[in-house]
C-alpha cells in the first residue's frame, strides 16, 4: 500500500489549520494578549519557514526512503508480528505516539535539548501559530527520533504519511486558542490532547510545565502520572519565567537562543522569584476545570523569594 497522496495530507492539515484560525477569532479561549497577534503570528511563521527548509534538506531525504526500505525488507516490530494492514497501521501509530512522548520529556529534562525546545515555550501567548514555531535545530534533531521510530516500529510509507498528517493537525489543534464547549473538551481530553490540557503545559509554573507531555493520546501522561487538568486557563501565565518581556523573544533572539548564554535556571523570573500557584485548585488533577470568572487572565501566579 502506497502512502497518502501529498495533496491529501496537505489539504487535511491545511484545512484543520485554517479552520482553527477562524475559530480562534470567533471563540478565543485565553483572552488578553501580550503583544499584537499579527506580529506574533508573523514571527512564528518565519520561525516555521526556516524549520521547514531545514526539514526538507535534512529529515525528508532520510525518512521517506527509509520507510520504503523498511517496507521492502519487512523490518520492525509490526512487520515481525505479521499484523494485517488494518491492525498494523493503528498499532504503529500508537507506538509512534509513545516514542514522541518520551522524546518530548527528554527535550525538557536534558539541558542541552531544552535550549532548543525553549524557543517553542517562550511564546508569551499561544495559538495555532505556536504549533509550528519550533527552532530549526530541534526539527533537525527530530530526524534521529524519526529514524529510530521507523526502524524499530517498522513504519511503512502509508503509516508514516498518516502519522505526519495526524500529528500536524493534532499539534495545531492542541496549541490553538479555541474555546471548545467545556463538556465536550472534558470528555475529549480523556482520549487526545486538547487546547486546555496543553495550555497547562505552557504555564510558567514549574510543576505545570512538567506535566501534560503527550502530543496525541492522553494515555501516556495518565500512565506516567504526569497528567494535570485542574488549572483553569484564566489562571495561567504562559511562557518561560526567565523570558517575560517581548523584547527577549523577538525573531533574532529566538534564532540564537540555543547558542546564547542561558539563564541560571529558566524557571526563575529575572528578579529572582519563582512562580508558584498560591490559590487553591480543585484537588482532583485528573478532572478538567473550566475558566472561573473571578480571576483575570493576566493575574500572574503569586511569587515567593528563594
Ligand atoms: Zn514542551
Tell me the per-residue pLDDT of 198-247, one tens digit each, with 9 for 90 and over: 999 999 999 999 999 999 999 999 999 999 999 999 889 999 999 999 99
Q: How far is the CA of 295 from the centre of ligand 1 (A)?
A: 26
**Is residue 26 one of the residues assigned to a domain?**
no
**Confidence class for position 174, pLDDT limits 50, 70, 90:** very high
DSSP 64-115: HHHHHHHHHHT-SHHHHTT--HHHHHHHHHHHHHHHHHHHHHHHHHSHHHHH
For 248-291, how does the pLDDT look when each residue is reduced to its tens digit (9 = 90+)? 999 999 999 999 999 989 999 999 999 988 888 888 999 999 98
* DSSP assignment letter at 28: B
d(C-alpha 51, C-alpha 41), whole Å: 15
Q: Is residue 10 part of a domain?
A: no
Cα–Cα nearest to 37, from 27, 49, 50, 24? 24
As a three-state string, the secondary structure of 31-64 is CCCCCCHHHHHHHHHHHHHHHHHHHHHCCHHHHH
Residue among 280, 274, 273, 276 at smallest CA distance from 295: 280
Q: What is the pLDDT of residue 1?
A: 64
The rounded Å distance from CA 128 to ligand 1 centre is 15
What is the 71 CA–ligand 1 centroid distance (Å)? 32
Question: What separation in Å is there between the alpha carbon of 69 and the centre of ligand 1?
Answer: 32
Give dist(CA 61, CA 121) in Å, integer. Answer: 28
Look at residue 283 in the predicted model and tell me its pLDDT.
87
Distance of CA 83 from the midpoint of ligand 1 (Å):
33
pLDDT, residue 305, reads 42
**Distance from Cα 86 to the centre of ligand 1, integer Å:** 32
Mean pLDDT on 167-186? 97
Closest CA to 108 of 227, 203, 210, 216: 210
Q: What's residue 230's pLDDT? A: 93
Burial class (CB in 10 A: 0-12, 13-18, 19+), 149: buried
Residue-wise DSSP of 201-248: HTBSSHHHHTS---SSBTHHHHHHT-----S-GGG--BS-TT--SGGG
Mean pLDDT of the chain, nearest integer: 93
Confidence (pLDDT) at 137? 97
Under the banding of pLDDT at 50, 70 and 90, the label for residue 302 is very low
Looking at the domain assignment, is residue 5 inside a domain?
Answer: no
Whether the predicted pLDDT of 298 surpasses 60: no
Comparing 82-86, 87-91, 139-143, 217-221, the range with the smallest average pLDDT is 82-86
CA 54 – ligand 1 centroid, Å? 20
CA of 92 to the centre of ligand 1 (A): 23
Q: How far is the CA of 202 from the centre of ligand 1 (A)?
A: 7
Please determine, for residue 38, whether its predicted confidence score (pLDDT) is greater than 70: yes
Of the candidates 73, 63, 81, the one whose C-alpha atom is nearest the C-alpha of residue 159 is: 63
d(CA 150, CA 160): 8
User: How many Å lie between the centroid of ligand 1 and the Cα of residue 121?
Assistant: 7
Tally of domains in the chain: 1
Give distance in angstroms: CA of 75 to centre of ligand 1: 31
Strand partners, 83: none
Instruction: Report residue 94 CA to chain centroid gap.
Output: 17
Question: Is pLDDT above 60 for 304?
Answer: no
Q: How far is the CA of 114 from the centre of ligand 1 (A)?
A: 9
Residue, of 226 and 1, whose pLDDT is higher: 226
User: Ligand 1 centroid vs 126 CA: distance in angstroms?
Assistant: 13
Looking at the chain, the whole-number percentage of residues with pLDDT higher than 90 is 87
Answer whether residue 236 is part of any domain: yes
User: Among 74-78, 156-160, 243-247, 289-293, where is mean pLDDT lowest?
Assistant: 289-293
CB neighbour list of residue 213: distance below 8 Å, 6 or more residues apart: 101, 104, 105, 108, 201, 220, 221, 224, 226
The pLDDT confidence band at residue 297, using thresholds 50, 70 and 90, is very low
In a domain, 15, yes or no: no
C-alpha 193/C-alpha 252 separation (Å) is 31
Ligand 1 centroid from CA 1, angstroms:
34
> Rounded to the nearest whole angstrom, what is the distance from the C-alpha of residue 213 to the centroid of ligand 1?
6
Q: Is residue 87 domain-resident?
A: yes
Q: What is the pLDDT of residue 32?
A: 82
What is the whole-number distance in angstroms between the Cα of residue 117 and the centre of ligand 1? 7
In a domain, 159, yes or no: yes
Calculate how far, in angstroms, residue 63's C-alpha sits from the geometric centre of ligand 1.
23
Instruction: Report percent pLDDT > 70 for the chain.
Output: 95
Domain that holds residue 44: 33-305
Q: Tell whether the model's pLDDT for residue 303 goes beyond 80.
A: no
Minimal CA–CA distance to 105: which of 259, 223, 269? 223
CA of residue 177 to ligand 1 center, whole Å: 17
Q: Residue 193: inside a domain, yes or no?
A: yes
Task: Cell numbers for 291, please give them.
Answer: 475558566
Q: Is the pLDDT of residue 100 over 90?
A: yes
Amino acid at each position: 500500500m502506497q502512502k497518502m497522496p501529498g495533496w491529501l495530507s496537505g489539504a487535511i492539515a491545511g484545512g484543520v489549520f485554517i479552520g482553527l484560525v477562524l475559530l480562534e477569532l470567533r471563540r478565543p479561549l485565553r483572552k488578553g494578549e501580550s503583544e499584537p497577534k499579527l506580529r506574533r503570528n508573523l514571527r512564528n511563521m518565519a520561525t516555521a519557514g526556516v524549520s521547514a527548509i531545514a526539514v526538507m534538506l535534512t529529515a525528508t531525504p532520510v525518512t521517506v526512503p527509509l520507510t520504503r526500505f523498511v517496507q521492502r525488507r519487512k523490518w520492525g516490530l509490526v512487520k515481525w508480528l505479521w499484523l494485517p494492514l488494518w491492525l498494523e497501521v493503528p498499532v504503529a501509530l500508537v507506538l509512534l505516539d509513545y516514542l514522541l512522548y518520551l522524546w518530548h520529556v527528554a527535550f525538557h529534562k536534558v539541558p542541552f535539548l531544552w535550549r532548543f525546545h525553549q524557543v517553542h515555550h517562550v511564546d508569551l501567548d499561544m495559538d495555532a501559530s505556536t504549533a509550528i514555531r519550533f527552532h530549526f535545530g530541534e526539527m533537525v534533531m527530530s530526524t534521529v527520533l524519526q529514524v529510530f521510530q521507523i526502524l524499530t516500529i517498522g513504519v511503512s510509507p502509508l503509516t508514516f504519511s498518516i502519522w505526519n498528517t495526524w500529528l500536524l493537525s493534532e499539534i495545531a489543534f492542541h496549541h490553538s486558542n479555541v474555546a471548545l464547549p467545556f463538556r465536550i473538551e472534558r470528555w475529549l481530553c480523556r482520549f487526545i490532547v486538547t487546547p486546555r490540557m496543553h495550555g497547562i503545559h505552557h504555564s510558567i509554573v514549574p510543576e505545570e510545565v512538567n506535566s501534560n507531555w503527550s502530543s496525541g493520546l492522553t494515555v501516556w501522561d495518565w500512565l506516567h502520572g504526569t497528567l494535570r487538568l485542574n488549572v483553569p486557563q484564566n489562571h495561567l501565565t504562559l511562557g518561560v519565567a526567565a523570558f517575560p518581556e517581548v523584547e527577549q523573544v523577538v525573531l533574532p533572539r529566538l534564532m540564537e537562543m540555543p547558542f546564547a548564554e542561558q539563564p541560571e535556571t529558566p524557571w526563575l523570573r529575572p528578579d529572582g522569584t519563582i512562580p508558584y500557584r498560591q490559590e487553591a485548585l480543585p484537588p482532583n488533577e485528573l478532572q478538567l476545570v473550566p475558566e472561573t470568572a473571578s480571576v483575570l487572565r493576566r493575574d500572574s501566579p503569586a511569587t515567593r523569594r528563594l
